[in-house]
Amino acid sequence: MNVINLQEKLTKFSDHWHPRIVGELNGQAVKIAKVQGEFIWHSHKDEDELFYIIKGTLKIEFRDGIKTLEAGEMLIIPRGIEHRPIAEEEVHLMLFEPIETKHTGEVKSTLTKDKLDWV
C-alpha cells in the first residue's frame, strides 16, 4: 500500500489529453490527466467512465446537451453514450474506468494513446 499524492503526480507531466495511470483496483484503472481544448467525439461500447474534476471547469458535450463540471464534482458516463470533453482552460481530472478501456473508444485519431504510462 502506497499513499498517492495526486498534486505531486500532476507535476510530473504537462501534455494534454494523455491520461496516466496512478493505480488499479478491482479491474479498474485510476487515471489522472491534464486537458485543454476540445477532445474528439467518442464512446465506450462496454465500459462506464467516471470523471472527477480536481481543478478547473470541464464541459462534456453530449448529442442532446452539455454537462458542466467544476472542481470537486464528478460525472459517470454510462457505456455507449457518445461524448466530447471540452476544457476552455487547463483542467486536471481523475478517471475511473476498466483497465481495458481505450482512451478514445473505437475512434482512432492523433490523440489516441495505445499504451498509457504509469506516473
With respect to residue 63, please indicate whether it lies within any of the assigned structural domains: yes
Q: Is residue 104 predicted with pLDDT exceeding 70?
A: no
Residue whose C-alpha is closest to residue 87's, from 69, 112, 64: 69
With respect to residue 114, please indicate whether it lies within any of the assigned structural domains: yes
Burial profile 81-98: b = 16 or more Cβ within 10 angstroms, e = fewer? eebebbbeeebbbbbbbe
Q: What's the DSSP call for residue 17?
A: S
Predicted TM-score (pTM) of this structure: 0.92
With respect to residue 35, please indicate whether it lies within any of the assigned structural domains: yes
Distances in whole angstroms, Cα of residue 18 to Cα of each of 100, 105, 115: 16, 14, 10
With respect to residue 60, please indicate whether it lies within any of the assigned structural domains: yes
Q: How many domains does the chain have?
A: 1
> What's 17's domain CATH number?
2.60.120.10
Which pLDDT tens digit goes with each residue over 29-54? Answer: 999 999 999 999 999 999 999 999 99
With respect to residue 1, please indicate whether it lies within any of the assigned structural domains: no
Residue range of the domain that includes 24: 6-118
With respect to residue 33, please indicate whether it lies within any of the assigned structural domains: yes
Which pLDDT tens digit goes with each residue over 77-100? Answer: 999 999 999 999 999 999 998 888
